[in-house]
Chains A and B, each alone.
Chain A
Amino acid sequence: MKSNHLNVPKMFRIGIILFLFVMTGIAICGQILIHEEKDNKINDLLDRGSYLTSLIALHPTKDLQGRKQDFFLRTLSEYTTYEGFVYCFIHDQSGHSFVSLAPNKLASQIPLDVQRASLQAMGLSKRTFQLNGTQNTIYEFAKPIFESGQKTGTVRLGFKLPQVSIFSFERIRFLAMIALFIFAVVLFFYYGIKLTLQPLKKISEDLQYTCNGSGLVNAQSSSTNGVAFMVKDLGQSLSQIKEKLVKIEADNMKLVSKLGVTAFEKKQIAAILDCINLGIIIVDIHDDVSHVNDYMLKLLKKSYAEAIGCPLTEFLNHDDIQAFISKQEDGMSYRSGEYIETTFPKHAPADTFSVSFSELKETESGLVGKMILIRKITNEKLAEEARKDFIAHIAHEFKTPLTSIKSYSEMLMDGEVNDIELKKEFYNTINTEADRLASLIQNLLSISRIEMGNLSINKSLVKTESLVGDSLAAIETAAQTKHIVIEKNLPDNFFSIVGDKELLKVALINVLSNAVKYTQDHGNITLSLFEQDDFIVFNIIDSGCGISQDDLPRIFEKSFRSSDPLVIKKPGSGLGLALTSEIIQLHGGEIEVESELGEGTRFLIKLPKEEYYIGKQ
């Protein structure tokens, strides 16, 4: 804290300065006064000399020589009381002085040329000279005396300039007044300036305080309160501030530039986030929403403006998610990658979402916010459920024939089946179920290979005659058991197709065995083969139980089985038609189905034909 009181050396300096000011003022005023007085005295001397000389010269010489001489001299003496009066000589016509009012030996000190010139003058004349042997300057006035037009004499008066003294009482008094005035003026100006500069000083101090406080500049306050120091400090501060301002301006430009880049990047990031097919909510450390992407806004049917700044709990209004985030935040249970599955019943009642949460951290600032990711997993859930259902279905499909084989064979081995017919039935069942198991495995493997994309199709020229023959042979026993008649409308010249014979055989057998399976005893099946446009068409018609219109669109789905009791009675994996459809598509063909419940079913398998065909063999 700086003292506002003046200290002694400073007072002394101010006193010295004031004194010098006053003395200089006095000296200047004194010099002016002396010079002026000197001029006045010279003028006065000249006026007085001229007047007195002219006055004396008006008198006739006889008045100055006769009985009036005493009166004249007395009168003259009164005039010559003037302090500058030096001498008075009155000469007659011959140049002899008959009146001489002068100190002794003075006449000899007056230069002769001056005396001569004065005596010869015909009018009033003035001359200055220095007395011989002295430094005194004498002003001599001379005027001839005329009487009746005749020069009768000459009057000569000598004056010296009176001494001008600075130390006269009046002058000292005057100078003292001047000094007092100057002192007062200087004091007035000093305190006036000081008062005027007070705000400036305050500004300077504030500036330095601000500078020191903010660390903007390395301002160091002077310990002296002088105006000069203050101005110096102020100047330094201003200079440093100016430098800093330049730097700040440069930094500001960089920041503005960075801000521009950041704003651009932010827009880009926002655009990227908007393209992501996930709900993204970013909140700050106060859990207020700072960004939401389009997906989330659409899901919650809210606008960006009403989302920003809104507390997360209010924005989501979802107890499950809030509970999950709170649990994650308690620090004990937070694990990256954890998520919950939930729904938004108000906004998307049919969908399931996974919600995960992660903390947003920066190296320098630490935790800066949180990000909540909301992903629609409806399809995954459905797929997962479908996968589980499929596995359950397949396990069931495997275990069912296995159960038959195991239980039937156990009973046979235990000797519990003695009746020949029953024995035959049991062996037949074991055989059928073993075939069913083999077929199931074959279908599963084929489907798996197709789905994994590594099914290699061994394409070759396939004779449809052979394909049809092999396929019919595979179902012949089953058809005969049920006394089903198979009608064949085959062309004389069999067509050939390009494809994988084994896979095509699987496809055809699946359709034919379904026809046998779902056709009642003594029913009939028709297999036709013909050419239609660019396709070879296999037309399989059965007189079976048919497929309901509800089930028709789903029969090619993997593991789909109709709920129709007539269908349920028959063993089936629900894989056959799915596999057939896949195989036909792999060959660039089409499979179509038409059916009426209780009337029968018609399958059309269309395969691209080749340019040539092989004749009937």
Chain B
Amino acid sequence: MGNNKKVLVVDDEAHIRRVIEVKLKKHGYQVITAINGKEGLNLIITQKPDVVISDIMMPEMDGEALCKKTNSLKKERSFLTIILTCRISSDEESWTADMQDTLFIEKPFSPSMLVECIDQYFGGSSK
């Protein structure tokens, strides 16, 4: 289970934030939320989450900008970034080549699969 790992959910859609929050909490994760990239970045710096789940299209600061800005932080402290994408074009993920510990999950996603990905990440890291 989550072992009280902290997960930050960044999405401008309240319903999405809510369902992820409920699901992850049920699996033992501690969940904090933000409504855009800018707010998310503050929480990453201050709250130091173990996992960041972020939507791509958001006001203020989008998921791509957030991911790029936080990539350098992973040198000091590694954490998983999951980007929720609508996958509109095939080259949408090209910018992730240089990103560390980043994976894409396409919308509409399955909450179970999302938890599985996070569990796997921590399972792998514990080895």
Query: In the complex, what's the smallest C-beta–C-beta distance from B109 to chain A, in angstroms?
Result: 6
Whole-angstrom CA separation of A410 from B58 in the bound complex: 25
Which listed segment binds A: B2-10, B16-24, B70-78, B96-104?
B16-24
A433 lies within 8 A of B88 (CB):
no
A396 lies within 8 A of B57 (CB):
yes
- In chain A, positions 415-436 with a C-beta closer than 8 Å to chain B are 416-417, 422, 426, 429, 432-433
A406 lies within 8 A of B60 (CB):
no
- B20's closest neighbor in chain A, by CB? A407
A403 lies within 8 A of B12 (CB):
no
Whole-angstrom CA separation of A391 from B56 in the bound complex: 15
- In chain A, positions 382-441 with a C-beta closer than 8 Å to chain B are 391-393, 395-396, 399-408, 410-411, 414, 416-417, 422, 426, 429, 432-433
A565 at interface, CB cutoff 8 A: yes
- B19's closest neighbor in chain A, by CB? A407
Interface string of B48-90 (1 = CB under 8 A from A): 0000000011111000000000000000000000001010100
Query: In the complex, what's the smallest C-beta–C-beta distance from A348 to chain B, in angstroms?
Result: 29
B12 lies within 8 A of A411 (CB):
no
Residue in A392, A402, A405 whose Cβ sees the most chain B Cβ within 10 Å:
A392
A403 lies within 8 A of B26 (CB):
no
Contacts A399-B107, A402-B107 given; does A563 touch B60 at CB 8 Å: yes
Query: In the complex, what's the smallest C-beta–C-beta distance from A402 to chain B, in angstroms?
Result: 4
Query: In the complex, what's the smallest C-beta–C-beta distance from B24 to chain A, in angstroms?
Result: 11
- A429's closest neighbor in chain B, by CB? B15
B35 lies within 8 A of A392 (CB):
no
B112 at interface, CB cutoff 8 A: yes
B22 lies within 8 A of A417 (CB):
yes
A105 at interface, CB cutoff 8 A: no
Contacts A411-B19, A416-B26 given; does A399 touch B108 at CB 8 Å: yes
Whole-angstrom CA separation of A402 from B84 in the bound complex: 13
* In the complex, chain B residues whose CB is within 8 Å of the CB of A408: 15, 19
Query: In the complex, what's the smallest C-beta–C-beta distance from A200 to chain B, in angstroms?
Result: 88
The size class of the interface chain A forms with chain B is 20 to 34
* In the complex, chain B residues whose CB is within 8 Å of the CB of A400: 13, 15-16, 107
B59 lies within 8 A of A410 (CB):
no
How many residue pairs link A and B with beta carbons under 8 A? The number is: 83
Query: In the complex, what's the smallest C-beta–C-beta distance from B23 to chain A, in angstroms?
Result: 6
Whole-angstrom CA separation of A416 from B108 in the bound complex: 19
Query: In the complex, what's the smallest C-beta–C-beta distance from A424 to chain B, in angstroms?
Result: 13
A569 at interface, CB cutoff 8 A: yes
Whole-angstrom CA separation of A571 from B59 in the bound complex: 12
Residue in A399, A406, A433 whose Cβ sees the most chain B Cβ within 10 Å:
A399
- From A402, A407, A432, A568, give the contact of B12 (CB < 8 A): A568
* In the complex, chain A residues whose CB is within 8 Å of the CB of B19: 404, 407-408, 411, 426, 429
B108 lies within 8 A of A402 (CB):
yes
* In the complex, chain A residues whose CB is within 8 Å of the CB of B58: 568
B88 lies within 8 A of A395 (CB):
yes
- In chain A, positions 56-106 with a C-beta closer than 8 Å to chain B are none
A565 lies within 8 A of B59 (CB):
yes
* In the complex, chain B residues whose CB is within 8 Å of the CB of A396: 56-57, 86, 88
Whole-angstrom CA separation of A569 from B18 in the bound complex: 13
- From B56, B88, B109, give the contact of A407 (CB < 8 A): B109
- From B15, B20, B57, B84, give the contact of A392 (CB < 8 A): B57
Whole-angstrom CA separation of A406 from B16 in the bound complex: 11
- B14's closest neighbor in chain A, by CB? A569
A403 lies within 8 A of B108 (CB):
yes
- In chain A, positions 526-583 with a C-beta closer than 8 Å to chain B are 561, 563, 565, 568-569, 571
* In the complex, chain A residues whose CB is within 8 Å of the CB of B108: 399, 402-403, 405-407
20 A-B contact pairs sorted by A residue (CB < 8 Å): A392-B88, A396-B86, A401-B15, A402-B107, A402-B108, A403-B13, A403-B16, A404-B19, A406-B110, A407-B110, A407-B111, A408-B19, A411-B23, A416-B22, A416-B26, A433-B15, A561-B59, A568-B12, A568-B36, A571-B13
Contacts A410-B110, A429-B15 known; list 11 others, CB within 8 Å: A395-B86, A401-B15, A403-B109, A404-B15, A407-B16, A410-B112, A432-B15, A563-B59, A565-B36, A568-B12, A569-B12
